[in-house]
Amino acid sequence: MLSVRLSPALVVLLFAAPGGPATTPPPHDPSSPWASLEPGLDLASLPGPAPAPGDGRIWVLRVDPARFELRLVNASAGDSRPRTVRSWALGAGAVAGVNAGMFQRDGLTSVGLMRTRAHANNPRRVSRYKAVLAFDPIRAGVQPVRILDAACSELEPLAPQYGTLVQSIRMVSCDRKNVWASDAKRSSVAAVGVDGSGRALFIHARSAWPVHDVVEALLASPIDLRRAMYLEGGPEAQLFARAGGREVDRVGALEGDGDQGASLAWEIPNALIAVRR
């Protein structure tokens, strides 16, 4: 977490039609954790690793790349003005969004490699960050979304196949192991993963747990998580979706604050968004 500016917008967690009352999630198979927001976009609310202040849940949005195009949006590519994840998504006509990673003290530049075909936010790869989210394939026949693992010698042969690369810290390795060290520190978390069918998973936990424990809970859940990468922690961590007449806006908390009531969403310079094809 690094310095950012606060948004004036008040953000709450809800399922609601825009301007309407709160509702319950859409009906779904009780044996499945997923509720469908629309074809190719599903939401799960999973139990956290242990009791904790707040809702004690891990929220996961599953995005099918056959129906949705992932995009990276950067303040550095335009007006240099950070926005909330909600504002990034709605401003680009997207149905969903999540943080695109940690950023430096200038409030704009990613801490690791971050580039699209048209813009390099940070052209440098950081050796200690072993995971790279790769999407926007350069040619047909390439898997649409991947998390490349430097420890498995995947970056050099596979990264050139993709137009967009975002680097951060591994959470789940290429052999499906939790590689986040055990630590007593607790915080909200935003992350991105991929499942066994190649779908992107936008992940958010507001309740504060050690990150290692969040990863263990995700691996034990029925979402078929295969790889995962840390994006952000604390109050900057956000997850947004608007689809099927419902809206979800998850925001992180300051350390030690597990309250699930109204919170201010922090403005961030970079976001991952999902746009209907």
- Residue 245 structure tokens: 């007449």
- The per-residue pLDDT for range 255-277, each reduced to its tens digit, is 655 554 446 899 999 999 999 99
Contacts of 165 (CB under 8 A, 6+ apart): 113, 114, 115, 132, 133, 134, 159
Domain ranges of the chain: 6-18+31-111+185-276
The number of helix segments (H) and strand segments (E) in the chain equals 3, 19
- The per-residue pLDDT for range 173-221, each reduced to its tens digit, is 999 999 999 999 999 999 999 999 999 999 999 999 999 999 999 999 9
Q: How far is CA 154 from CA 82, 110, 131, 196, 228, in A?
A: 32, 21, 10, 18, 15
Q: Are 221 and 32 in contact (CB under 8 A)?
A: no
- The per-residue pLDDT for range 212-240, each reduced to its tens digit, is 999 999 999 999 999 999 999 999 999 99
User: From CA 128, how far away is CA 58, in angstroms rounded?
Assistant: 27
At residue 109, φ and ψ (nearest 5 deg) are -90, 130
Residue that the structure tokens 């979706």 belong to: 241
At residue 96, φ and ψ (nearest 5 deg) are -155, 160
Q: What is the mean pLDDT of residues 104-111?
A: 97
- Portion of the chain with pLDDT greater than 90, in percent: 84
Confidence band (pLDDT; 50, 70, 90) for 142?
A: very high
Q: What is the mean pLDDT of residues 4-14?
A: 33
pTM: predicted TM-score of the whole model, two decimal places: 0.89
Q: What is the mean pLDDT of residues 106-115?
A: 98
pLDDT beyond 70 at 2: no
What pLDDT is stored for residue 261 in this prediction?
A: 47
User: From CA 103, how far away is CA 269, in angstroms rounded?
Assistant: 8
pLDDT beyond 60 at 89: yes
Confidence band (pLDDT; 50, 70, 90) for 16?
A: very low
Sign for the pseudo-dihedral over CA of 271, 80, 108, 135: positive
What pLDDT is stored for residue 44 in this prediction?
A: 98
- The per-residue pLDDT for range 35-60, each reduced to its tens digit, is 999 999 999 999 999 999 999 999 99
User: From CA 242, how far away is CA 259, in angstroms rounded?
Assistant: 23
User: From CA 16, how far away is CA 177, in angstroms rounded?
Assistant: 37
User: From CA 114, how far away is CA 271, in angstroms rounded?
Assistant: 11
Spell out the alpha helix ranges (H) of 43-177: 85-91, 155-158
Lowest mean pLDDT among 105-114, 240-249, 256-265: 256-265
Confidence band (pLDDT; 50, 70, 90) for 254?
A: confident
What pLDDT is stored for residue 21 in this prediction?
A: 31
What pLDDT is stored for residue 255 in this prediction?
A: 65
- Residue 234 structure tokens: 């604390």
pLDDT beyond 70 at 146: yes
First to last CA, the chain: 33
Q: Please provide the average confidence, as pLDDT, over all residues in the chain.
A: 89
